[in-house]
Chain A
Amino acid sequence: MAVFLARRLAYSAVLAVLGASLTYVLAATALRPRAGFETRTPRPPEAVVHAELRRLNLDDRVPLAVRYRTWAAGVVHGDLGHTRQDGPVGAELRRRAGVSVRLLLPGTVLGCALGVLLGAYAAARRGRAADRAIVAGSALLPAVPVFVLAVLLQFAAGKVNDVTGMRIFEWTGESSPGAGGPADRVRHLLLPTVTIALSQVALYCRYQRGLMLDVLSAEHMRTARAKGLRRRRVLLRHGLRVALVPMTAYSAYAFGLMLVGAAFTEKVFGWHGLGEWLVESIGHGDVNAVAAVGSLAAGTVLLAGLVSDVVRGVLDPRTRTAEVAAAPTTAAP
């Protein structure tokens, strides 16, 4: 296991460096930080624009290789550069990563747990009314864009507030300015959590149902039943546990991507997380910020792979033997 992990780690490190570098090169080639200055009137003095772009390592007249070297040298020393507005990228990245995790973790955990349960339940009730309802629901939900779902929920919550005359739901930002106690924070989390959970539950549910159906028709299940084990016990101990193994891989990847990809949820609820930052930075031509988020995404996805390998190893003893480890280990979405 240790050798296997060490090899995976080295492999991931190389991939992370490659991913980050490619992100930087892509961002530096495609984005035009200069445009933000050029469209202003009165246009800032040419010398000022030049000096500012040069200082922030955003000058498109400097060869890309030179800019990349400057950026990479900084990153090696833990300095991710500065944003277009001159704030340090590293501090902003940490701040926003915290916001994203606080926003996304409860909803994702809830969505994942519910999805797995519903999926397993549907598989066990295959073909019956409950299964058909769950399948229909899990086809419908992913078809609703997240921001539509969020606005609908806000609308409903607003109605509840109006009807009861109490302010049960508040959903803008992490907390009310000036308040910010734990209860206020939890209240602000309610709607985003439901939104995220609903948008996730269907995907997990469908995936889990499919996995579970595969497992149910497996031979070891029949053997277990033939040996006289009760159906419930077989389903939980031998069915669900086996079906959960590929699920861990999926959920680790899904959360890694979600972390930087939740722009709409963040925007609609006024949280200032990574997704919003990425979209804004692309709009502003903020190369260093885009590169930082991209690098983080590369890092998280690889880390997620690693985590899923470990969890898989714990759940599935067979992985630790060499011949299985050489096989594809993950089911990336």
Chain B
Amino acid sequence: MPAIVSLSNVAKDYPLGKTVVRALRGVSLAIEKGEFVAIAGPSGSGKTTLLNLIGCVDVPSSGEVTIDGRSTSALHDRELTNLRLHSLGFIFQTFNLVAVLNLYQNVEFPLLLKGHHTAAERKKKVEAMIDKVGLTPQIGQRPNELSGGQRQRVAIARALVTEPKIVLADEPTANLDSVTGQNIIDLMKALNDTLTTTFIFSTHDQRVISHARRVIRLVDGVVEDGAAQARGAGG
């Protein structure tokens, strides 16, 4: 199966005053369609940087990132934005819902950006996705009226409503209690199974890592063992 995400000798440097912080140092990896991958590692190991590069919200200092067959180095801002809109979904550590929109409108927002759907189609898709994450009773509520777990479910629904090929989740359970975190991981796994969407999430929580079907460990900006590790625990 062809890789939906591939990184080839990718490095990312951040200038910090007169010094340069090397967040990633020559990372190469490939992720296939439908995988449920955890990027693990201690704080400062480069997990979020790696996710940013895969999510096309940042560009590498060197090396090549290929998403769904397209190298991101040559793309302009408009094309990168389109790539994010059509191929990627994001789940943020802090949920990042638009505070002034209600649950339904938050989920509907990416569909409006895509603009391919009629109002009826959008309604059908949004309601179906909200149903999948189990928030139909809260459909008209604002983010500040929801619990942390419910907000993350909204974020998952928003990430998946456009049916992206890849969903990126940055520490999706970091701001949730263990039970809620477990529920969120279960939900992501279930959606991964049913929708065959590729899930890539960063975490340093061992309980979450144990659910991943594959774990990529980062230490000081380098993939441990030089290659992606497979773990059979989850599947």
Q: Do A and B come from one complex?
A: no
> Which residues of chain A have a CB within 8 Å of any CB of chain B?
none
